Structure 1
Amino acid sequence: MSLEEGKVLQHEKIKDNYKTILRVYNYGTKADAKSLFPKMDRAIEKSSIAIQKHSMYFGGKEQVKWVAQSYLMMGIAHFYKQDYIPARRVFDYVYNEYKDKPIRFEGLLWLAKTYIQMNRPAKAEATLNLLTSKMDADDFPNKVYNELPLVEADFYLSHENYAAAYPYLERALEINKDRFLTNRVLFILGQINQKEGDFERATRYYSQLIKRNPDYELAFNARLNLAQSYDSKTGNSKAITRLLMKMTKESKNQEFLDQIYYALADVALKDNNDTLAISYLRKSVASSVNNNYQKTISSLKVADLYFEETEYKFAKLYYDTAMMALPADFPNYFQIKERAEILTNIVTEHQTIKEQDSLQTLARMNPDERNAIIDAAIEKYKIAEEERIKREEEEKNAKEAEQVAMKNGMPSGFGGQGGRGGPGGPPSLGAGNGKWYFYNPQALSKGYSEFVRKWGKRQLTDNWRLSDKRQMMLTDDDLQGETVRTDSTVSDTANAKASSAATPMDRVFYLNGLPKTEDDFQASDRMILEAYHKLGTLYKESLHDTASAITVYNEMFNRFPENQYELESWFALYQLYSGKGEVSEVAKYKNLILTKYPDSDYAKVIVDPDYFVKLAAKKGQIVKLYARTYKAFEREQYFRVLSFANKAIEEYPDNKSLMPRFLYLRAIALGKATTVDSMYTEMKALVAAYPQSGVAPQAKQILKTLRAEYGFDGGAPGEGSNKAKKITKYKLTKKIPFFVIVAVNGDKVKINPLKVRISDFDKKYFRLRKLRIKSLQLDNQRVLITIGNFTNKNDAANYYRAIKNDEYVLSGLNKDDYKIFPISTKNYPIMYRDKDVKGYMEFMKENYDFN
């Protein structure tokens, strides 16, 4: 009973990602499995009791058939807990112990499933081959016969070998009797054909699935994929679009609008209507509430479309949205992240130019014109504030009404369908699940997403709505058409009123950020020039957008004819026009560089295109020389080290990356081959010449040691550096017993209630471990709570991962008041003796991967 209840709980809890090709079986994550622990532990306990009480083993055989079933049930319970090692042992025992019983084949099938989940493909394949070879046995169970193709298909799906999985999925359709799994197989077959571009077959499988009336979520995604399987060459997009638009109007689909709009965008793209696709994708992102995956892929697709159209500002916004929830294992994660960062930089530099131009324009206006624009901005702000106050008042009234309804025991939304906006009444106030807004994670998630989309990430401060409190509502539209006049000073009245207490309702608030003196205007010009230079480089090097790069560089030279970036910008234009084949422009910038900067590297590259290749070859020679020097050093051939290092000093004196390393090896070789005094002198010279080099810290440590031991520069001989000689006192161990320690501040944490919560946690999730909990005073303030014993490092690591994020155990504790860590029984006495929690945790982070 406990095992079946656990399976039902798992089925309800685990959610599939329908945007990827499904597996036949979905056992969820480690975190999902944790919720099954109580049920599965109960099943294991019942199995153990049954075996102990009823086993009758004589004559070399088990005489009670239920004992074998109990073993199998125990293994399955371990499997669902994702404790695969004990599961494997039990299934292996069942297969080998009951050689004359049909249950051995069930054990073998579950053993194959276990190897698949453990990602041991060779073992899994060998087990499946063994099982297949025994299918002709007279006692081969029908249950195993029917499920075997499903497991074989799942094996290949786990490695994304869809071609190999396909025949087993088709065979499973013929013989499998499980309705849920048959529906799932139909969906997977549709997905594989859709991925391979065989839309006709995909359509057939999806249609067959929909006719079987599966559960709502599977049917919904089958309909979406059916629409996306439309072929623009043979199909009619109008009918599919009508079907999808009809789905957007159905109340039960409101939480799936993001997926429907994504499907509509896919149809539009197949019809080569990018504008319509962008519109649908934007709606998909805007309507996504609690499906971060869909929001991410919709954001990425619309960002890519904007990027292709060089609409970088909009592309940046949607890449930012995608990056908020993009997992690190997402395909092309680092390329997406890099592109988002590049676009952020581009938008930032454009904003700098726009902002500084606006400030300069406003500063040069006469006071009347300037004040008129500021007053218009203030009026806009007042209107926005009034609307905000009105909106907040409406929200407050709605929340109060919701609280009253909850207090009186009325259903949320006062409707008959309990918060889904069903036929019995209007939609609920709690975003669809009958909870008050602030107790509703979905509503909070939606509110947070809408806030970030509208306002960006803001700190909790006064006037948080203003991203730039000096620039509120002063846009190019406000300045367009105004007469620009030279006026280097701001009115005395504005200066007199300026104060830190100015608000967006005051003129001073806007006047404070304007340039006032000639130095201010020059500083503003430098910011604009710097932004142009960065933009040109970003367009040319990062985005390879030749047209935009040329435009930016030409704008820069129009505004700043002679500037500090002249040479490299001319060379950039030389390269850009070379790529376009515009001979006259290439000749223009070539002559400019050769005439004004004949000795520069850029001029040398123009004259000799292989200049950098030859330079790189020269660098390669010094790298080889350093490798030979280091090899000689490892072999203690110190005179050869001195010879190679001297050669490097003579031939490559300007190489600042490797020269400090040559000098470091040379200094040590001198100390070994001659006297310590020589090494000390050379090390001092190295630190003085290259204080920021990678070897400087080691050189400084050696100098410190030599001063202490030999009395150089007034140091007292014999005062050895403990730090330099320090060897870690802790030992790296894995296969001995471990504890998990909770070290707490005894002054701020109540020890006994914490031990009770830990005990409750152990009984719920680790009841079979029989763990012991003890507490011990570490010092006047700190208390150690030990949980154990764990058989080895891995057992302790599993417990540590489970308890460190458990909200019940750690409720009410400040993170600064406790530390949780596993520790071996060998290292524990050392840590306790030295009261060295911090030192051990540093050792743990460097040597163990407990996370």
Structure 2
Amino acid sequence: MALKTVKYFILLTAISALLITGCSRKNDSFISRNYHAVTTEYNILYNGNIAFEKGRKSLNEAYRDNYWEILPIERMQILDEVILPGQSKNADFTLAEEKAVKAVQKHGMNIQGKEHNPQIDEAYLLLGKSRYFDQRFVPALEAFNYILYKYPASSNINQARIWREKTNMRLENDELAIKNLKTLIEQVEPKGQDLADATSTMAQAYINIKSLDSALTQISIAAEATKNRFEEGRYYFIKGQLYNALEDKDSANIAFDKVIDLNRKIPRKYLISAHVEKAKNFNYEKGNKQEFLEHLKKLEKDRENRPFLDHIYHQVAQYYINQKQDSLATVYYNKSIRTNSSDKILMARNYEILGDMNFDVNNYKLAGAYYDSTMTKMVENSKPYRIIKRKRENLDDVIYYEGVAEVNDSILNLVKMGEFDRARFFEDYVAKLKLEREAEAERLAIQEQKAILSQNNSGQAQNNSFKPKGNSANASSFYFYNDQTVAYGKNEFLRIWGDRENTDNWRWSDGSKATQFATTSNAENLNPENNKLLDVDFYLAQIPSDEKEIDSISKERNFAYYQLGLIYKEKFKEYDLAKSRFTDLLNNNPEKRLILPAKYNLLKMYETLGRTAEVNILKNEIITNYPDSRYAQILSNPEAALAKDESSPKSIYENTYKQFEAQEFESVIKKCVEYINTFEGDEIVPKFELLKAFAVGRLHGFEAYKKAINEVAVNYANTEEGIQAQSILDTSIKGLENSEFEDDLTATKCKVVYQFPSASKTEIDTFKKTLDETIELAKYNNLSTSIDVYSKDKTFVVVHGLRSIEAAKGFTDIFPSELKYKIDRPFFGISTNNYRTVQIHKNLQAYMANK
């Protein structure tokens, strides 16, 4: 027995040794080749391909197509982030890559430079594809090139060449990819899926280089060659998009019809998108509109299309807008919005169109709200975003002034009413307010009652307490069978509604108990402030009676009218609206400063509209009643007005700016105030406001400057000067805030300052001239001088170019005695940075105290 066991052991050992040596990766035998091939294909590569397909599926599911642009051939989102060695975006592709590497390392049979395992080329192909979808394109290219170099006779050679060109295309080598794919098609003449893959890849490369005609040819071949229905539907859809881009709508519709014919063989998103694209191409002049609308309605009613109602509603709205049925279009645009679509471009278009519709009918406030919503659905700082933002910003002023005009008009109308009319007006308002509160209280009470009953029913159903009398087998959860719930319901009814008779319209009874609902039943929910709103006397007390207050409201209203007239005329070219606002202004006893500009603007509008009679009336009125005005001079002598006129706003501004450069800040401020009033409504006004702010800062310091700049930014937000002021507030103003002094001893740039309190300009100029001559005689060419205004009562003569505070403090000592006496007057030395701080914050006294 023992001998027999020994024989079995020896035989087993021999067989094991034979298998081990026979399956060696370095042994080119039938057993070895087939062992490694089978193990590679049905074990390692099988699991690798499963991981690869799982990763590719998750990639496709995560990708969101943008149907507003030509779809990419391949559904893959290219990310900008850099992937470092050893990192991965997708664990499934990492696993697939590991399996491919394992197949090569453990089952590769590279003997004397030749691979004997026929599955290793499959492993390299899987390796390259895994890296490709993991967006590591350079390593992927290496894997595909290795197949082409090592396995030229491989059955996967065509796929390797196609994937290599796909990778080249991702590396933005589109021309190279096109060249190599053309060579492949000419040399090999691939069929079936290889042909579909090659031509679709070439089509994408042509799209990338904007050669849409060539892309169209290739995508047509791919759509015919592929056996994958999903790809077929996508390729035909892209074909339709390419035709649309080339403005061939008839051919595009034929391509979209092919997508529609595939019906349930493709994802429904392609099907509905094809219907939508055809709807966009509908010919409203020659097409059957009734049939087209019925088709859209059929799509709308199909239950399977519910996930796509956002686009269907949008197309129905587009139909109605084309038919000038704006009210129905508005309904369907809002329906599209209420679907809460994930398509932000669609939502932005819905909001923008609604904004434009309201803009066109002069409902600027609502238009502004729609534009606000539009921007929330757009990529911030993109070109479309900036266009909408500018359009929205242009509405800021008109919305503000329309609000002011509306409110002030309402107040002034109440002021004009008699006491009886006022009381009646507010009685009607309070009655309406009470009805609204009753309706809201009723809604809340019913909602609360439903919640209580639902809670009770739920609890009673669990413990079977809702049971009818009689047979327990017929137990019911109907709440009327529970005495406790019925009693509770009766008490709640009495608490909310009072003791009502069983009659029609019982809620609107006039009995004292019925009216209790409106007055006292919810008193506990009304705070004293809310109760005031139901008191007519409260409103009557708010009406202004003081003449100064009424006059102020009237002036504010009139100014709003004037601004609205200018905005409608200049920004929106809405001349009827502008005329209405200017006319309203002139009919409401405006300030004198607004009358002439309003009439002149009316005249210019009538000129634009070709209304000669009105132009002549206003022209004669302005020339006769305001002969000394700038407007009368322009109208009397138009030729001279075309030339540069010293009295023109531009010339006056230039002269004022010259005074600013000459540091005549006090005069500049006074003149800016004067010209702002004189040229009220002219586009030059913001320039004067900004110039005044600069002059205020130079004369009065940082805090006054900051306040003045802020006023320009707020009051003229939509002008170039307002934008500049806001930019100053956002950036440079922060660098001026620090008012602390640094140590002069460490400074390498210093100045010498001579103070002249309330001195005449002649005296200052004379001293500066003497100082310049002295410096020149002493041959100190590195020094220069300037006159700097510090405040309206103090001016500095400053010497620049000193390199230390000691040199600045001993400035006169550097001159010989025969020159020194010429400039012998009090001065002080200061570092350049501290001098800048003194001028910005006007804190010379603080600096001198710390010396």
Same fold at TM > 0.5: yes
| SS across alignment from 2:315 | helix
Task: Report what 2:17 is aligned to.
Answer: none
2:552 paired with 1:526: no
Match of 1:341 among 368, 387, 393: 393
Q: 2:283 aligns with which of 231, 237, 241?
A: 231
Whether 1:380 aligns to 2:427 is: no
**Worse-superposed segment, 10-19 or 55-64:** 55-64
Q: Secondary structure at the match of 2:274?
A: helix
Specify whether residues 377 and 158 from structure 1 end up closer, same or farther in structure 2 by C-alpha distance, changes over 3 A only.
farther
When you count helix as a share of all residues, which structure comes out higher?
A: 2
- Structure 1 pair 715–351 and aligned structure 2 pair: CA distance change class (3 A): same
C-alpha distance 406-131 of structure 1, shift in aligned 2 (>3 A): farther
2:608 corresponds in structure 1 to 579
User: Is 1:172 the counterpart of 2:247 in the alignment?
Assistant: no
Aligned to 2:238: 188
Aligned to 2:505: none
Paired residue type of 2:288: N
- Residue matched to 1:216: 268
One-letter code aligned to 2:72: R
Equivalent of 2:197, from 128, 143, 147? 147
> What are the within-5 Å matches in structure 2 for residues 411-810 of structure 1?
504-507=533-536, 510-511=539-540, 513-594=542-623, 602=631, 606=635, 607-608=637-638, 611=641, 614=644, 681-682=786-787, 684-685=788-789, 710=808
Q: Report the Cα distance in structure 2 between the residues aligned to 1:404 and 1:16, rounded to whole angstroms.
A: 49
Q: Work out whether residues 148 and 161 of structure 2, in 8 Å CA contact, stay in contact via their aligned partners in 1.
A: no
Cross-structure match for 2:309? 257
Deviation of residue 203 (structure 1)?
3.2
Distance 1:329 1:75, change over 3 A: farther
Counterpart code for 1:530: F
Mapped partners of 1:405, 1:329: distance in 2: 55
CA offset digits 1:170-226 (Å, max 9, x no partner):
122222222112101222233344555544333332222122122222222222333
Q: 1:4 aligns with which of 42, 45, 53?
A: 53
Q: Following superposition of structure 1 onto structure 2, how do residues 75-474 of structure 1 map, counting pairs within 5 Å?
A: 75-81=128-134, 83=135, 86-92=136-142, 94-95=144-145, 98-101=148-151, 106=159, 109-114=162-167, 116-117=169-170, 120=172, 123-138=173-188, 143-158=193-208, 162-194=212-244, 198-213=248-263, 214-271=266-323, 273-274=325-326, 276-288=328-340, 290-310=342-362, 312=364, 315-328=367-380, 332-391=384-443
Report the alpha carbon displacement of residue 528 of structure 1 after superposing the two structures with TM. 0.9
Alpha-carbon distance in structure 2 between the residues aligned to 1:401 and 1:106? 68
Partner Cα separation in structure 1 for residue 120 and residue 318 of structure 2: 56
**Largest Rg, 1 or 2:** 2
Alpha-carbon RMSD = 5.3
Residues 45, 402 of structure 1: CA spacing in aligned structure 2 closer, same or farther, 3 A cutoff? farther
1:532 offset after TM fit, Å?
0.9
Distance 2:449 2:179 in 1: 67
Deviations, residues 222-275 of structure 1 (Å, cap 9, x unaligned): 223333433233321212212322333344434433322221233334545555
Structure with the bigger RCO (C-alpha within 8 Å, sep 6+) is 1
Shift of 1:525: 1.1
**Alpha carbons of 1:706 and 1:167: their partners in 2 closer, same or farther (altered >3 Å)?**
farther
Per the alignment, in what secondary structure is the counterpart of residue 212 of structure 1?
A: helix
Displacement after TM superposition at 1:278 (Å)? 4.2
Distance 2:71 2:336 in 1: 23
Q: Which residue matches 1:739?
A: none
1:8-36 Cα shifts (integer Å, max 9, x gaps): 11222222233433222232364999995
Distance 1:610 1:162, change over 3 A: farther
* C-alpha spacing 1:308/1:364, structure 2 compared with 1 (3 Å): closer
TM-score, normalization by structure 1: 0.58
Number of matched residues?
A: 591
Q: Helix, strand or coil: the match of 1:23?
A: coil
| Aligned partner of residue 232 in structure 2, secondary structure | helix
1:38 maps to what in 2?
91
Cα pair 1:108 1:127 within 8 Å, conserved: no
Q: In structure 1, how many angstroms separate the alpha carbons of the residues matched to 2:378 and 2:542? A: 37
Q: Give 1:131 shift.
A: 2.8
**Shift of residue 556 of structure 1?**
1.3
Deviates further, 346-355 or 89-98: 89-98
Contact 1:502-1:509 within 8 A present in 2 as well = no
Amino acid corresponding to residue 579 of structure 1 in structure 2: T
Kindly state the Cα deviation for residue 125 of structure 1 after the two structures are TM-superposed. Answer: 1.9
Q: Give the equivalent residue in structure 2 for 1:27.
A: 76
Q: What is the CA distance between 1:521 and its match in structure 2? A: 1.0
Q: Distance in 1 between matches of 2:81 and 2:459?
A: 34
From the superposition, tell whether residues 380 and 39 of structure 1 become closer, same or farther in structure 2 (CA, over 3 Å): farther
Q: Once the two structures are superposed, what CA deviation does each residue of 1:770-824 show, in whole Å capped at 9, x if it has no partner? A: xxxxxxxxxxxxxxxxxxxxxxxxxxxxxxxxxxxxxxxxxxxxxxxxxxxxxxx
Deviations 1:147-178 (A, max 9, x none): 12212222344466544422222122222222
Between the aligned residues of both structures, percent identity stands at: 22
Q: Flag the 1:5–1:505 CA change in 2: closer, same or farther, 3 A.
A: farther
